[in-house]
Amino acid sequence: MRKLLFGLLLILTSAASAQKISNNKKAIIQSIEKHNAELIAISDSVWALAETAFNEKQSSVILADYAEKNGFSVERGVSGMPTAFIATYGSGKPVISILGEFDALPGISQKAQPTKEALNEGAAGHGCGHNLFGTASLGAAVAVKELIEAGKIKGTIKFFGTPAEEKYFGKVWMVRDGLWDDVDVNLSWHPADNTEADAQSTLALVDFKVEYFGQAAHASADPWNGRSASDALELYTTGINYYREHIKPTVRIHYHIQDGGQVVNVVPDYSKLWVRVRDTKRSGVIPVYERVQKMAEGAAVMANVDYKITLISGIYEVLVNRSGEEIMQKNLEYLGDITYTEEEQAFGKKIQENTQKPQIGMDSKISPLKETKEHPGGGSTDVGDVSWNVPNINLSVTVAPKDTPWHSWAVVACGGMSIGHKGMTYAAKALSMTAVDLFEDQKLIEKIKNEYKERKGDEVYEANIPPGPPPVGDNYE
Ligand SMILES: [Zn+2]
């Protein structure tokens, strides 16, 4: 039985690779391969810099300069964010855009090796693979540009350099400014432990800050003169934790205590926490958000302190577009699985051993397009907000071994060596091939747009951020 299955698999695989592709697609694959060494160098520079949300100054310059060097016109510092930029090439319709991210996560610096050891002690690391994300997307945009330049396809290609995905969600300010208004279809991808045309949504969320203001006093000599901001904080989080019993299984609530007082012998007069509520739909997030705001007030009443709630930002769930994913899927079937050397598999298995996972190495097997789940699990992304303003096609590509703990040193390790590089090259090919399909066939764009309109229905998008400029410079810390 096993043998039979294996044989069947071989037939299927060779059938996939025998799929015919257009000369434009052949050219675009060659272009990615031609630029591959440069792309790896860019990715490795961004990886080593590991700059966090809104601090991605050098990373942003490296990417924007590369776009400019390749003939794109680059607008830097868009939507009040010095590290956000748009690179554009070509003119007229269709307008296709590709998203790139490049921010790192604090505290998870790591060398490109399978055992845990910081590259720079205490520094940030690319634990979500955004060094690969930004570089692959830009590589894809450059390859598309070469086809436009050669007169093989007509229209406009845009690369969006989008900062601060890991904190604050920079894309929301760009969406609020209407930066995707002239775009027909947007493409995006994300580093992952598997490879698929990603037909799943993500979770919507709201981030807000709660602060309590009390009265300081000596903790022993005159505590009756004190009104404790940390009492309020504890009562608040206790309320949230009781509330968990009564939320829907799709809801998530997290909090991070940012200030709980300074010393043990003072009744704290100030406390602060960052709260996040999520659900699979924005409509589900809103009632939970309202409820936990009331709880913040209730805790303030109990501790006899004042309180303040400040919205930080909120994001939508991704609006899936299966018509777009079907196009992506065909290109993945053509490209096939990523192949790894024995050394790479050994590296992957060592990572799995060191993170207590089964030692099975990398998984980049192309499966048929999955059903779209009504209530997906997983995380959230500000790609969601883009997807409610322009049809979006999403992709996941393997850049780390199966089941690697995400946002961890293990992802940082893989993103700085060939396992990550291979995923990046693959993503660049899949994105640019899918873009070529769209440039070559207006009917595909129409089909994607029709599905987008149908799924969006009469829901009116509203950017869930406070008025005014983005919190560049960590104003919310
Ligand atoms: Zn990410």
* 3-class SS string, 315-375: ECCCCCCHHHHHHHHHHHHHHCCCCCCHHHHHHHHHHHHHCCCCCCCCCCCCCCCCCCCCC
- Pick from 265, 263, 268, 270: nearest CA to 221: 265
Does residue 9 register a pLDDT over 70?
no
Q: How far is the CA of 101 from the centre of ligand 1 (A)?
A: 8
* Band (1; pLDDT cuts 50, 70, 90): very low
Does residue 15 register a pLDDT over 50?
no
Distance of alpha carbon 79 from alpha carbon 177, whole angstroms: 7
The neighbouring-strand residues paired with 405 are none
Q: How far is the CA of 424 from the centre of ligand 1 (A)?
A: 14
pLDDT, tens digit (0-9, with 9 covering 90-100), for 348-378? 999 999 999 999 999 999 999 999 999 998 9
Q: How far is the CA of 77 from the centre of ligand 1 (A)?
A: 21
CA–CA–CA angle 424, 429, 433 (5° rounding)? 150
Does residue 107 register a pLDDT over 80?
yes
pLDDT, tens digit (0-9, with 9 covering 90-100), for 46-102? 999 999 999 999 999 999 999 999 999 999 999 999 999 999 999 999 999 999 999
Does residue 18 register a pLDDT over 80?
no
Tell me which residues have their CB within 5 A of the ion that is ligand 1: 128
Distance of alpha carbon 412 from alpha carbon 397, whole angstroms: 15
Q: How far is the CA of 165 from the centre of ligand 1 (A)?
A: 7
Specify the residue for token string 């400040």. 310
Q: How far is the CA of 130 from the centre of ligand 1 (A)?
A: 6
Does residue 11 register a pLDDT over 50?
no
Rg of the chain, C-alpha, whole Å: 24
Does residue 474 register a pLDDT over 70?
no
- Pick from 259, 250, 207: nearest CA to 53: 207
Q: How far is the CA of 132 from the centre of ligand 1 (A)?
A: 10
Mean pLDDT of the chain: 95
* Band (17; pLDDT cuts 50, 70, 90): low
Give the global pTM: 0.93
Residues in the chain: 477
Count of C-beta atoms within a 10 Å radius of residue 184: 21
The first and second tokens of residue 159, run together, are 């690369």
pLDDT, tens digit (0-9, with 9 covering 90-100), for 127-169? 999 999 999 999 999 999 999 999 999 999 999 999 999 999 9
Does residue 5 register a pLDDT over 80?
no
Distance of alpha carbon 305 from alpha carbon 289, whole angstroms: 21
Q: How far is the CA of 382 from the centre of ligand 1 (A)?
A: 10
- Pick from 428, 422, 371: nearest CA to 395: 428
One-character DSSP codes across 439-458: HH-HHHHHHHHHHHHHHHTT
Distance of alpha carbon 451 from alpha carbon 51, whole angstroms: 37
What b/e readout covers 19-54, taking b as 16+ CB neighbours within 10 angstroms? eebeebbebbbebbeebbeebbebbbebbbbbbbbb
Q: How far is the CA of 362 from the centre of ligand 1 (A)?
A: 19
Report, as an integer, the average pLDDT of 421-440. Answer: 98
The first and second tokens of residue 291, run together, are 């409820």
Cβ atoms 38, 456 nearer than 8 A: no
* Band (20; pLDDT cuts 50, 70, 90): confident
pLDDT, tens digit (0-9, with 9 covering 90-100), for 245-292? 999 999 999 999 999 999 999 999 999 999 999 999 999 999 999 999
pLDDT, tens digit (0-9, with 9 covering 90-100), for 370-410? 999 999 989 999 999 999 999 999 999 999 999 999 999 99
Q: Angle at which helices 322-335 and 2-17 pack, to 10 degrees?
A: 100
Does residue 14 register a pLDDT over 60?
no
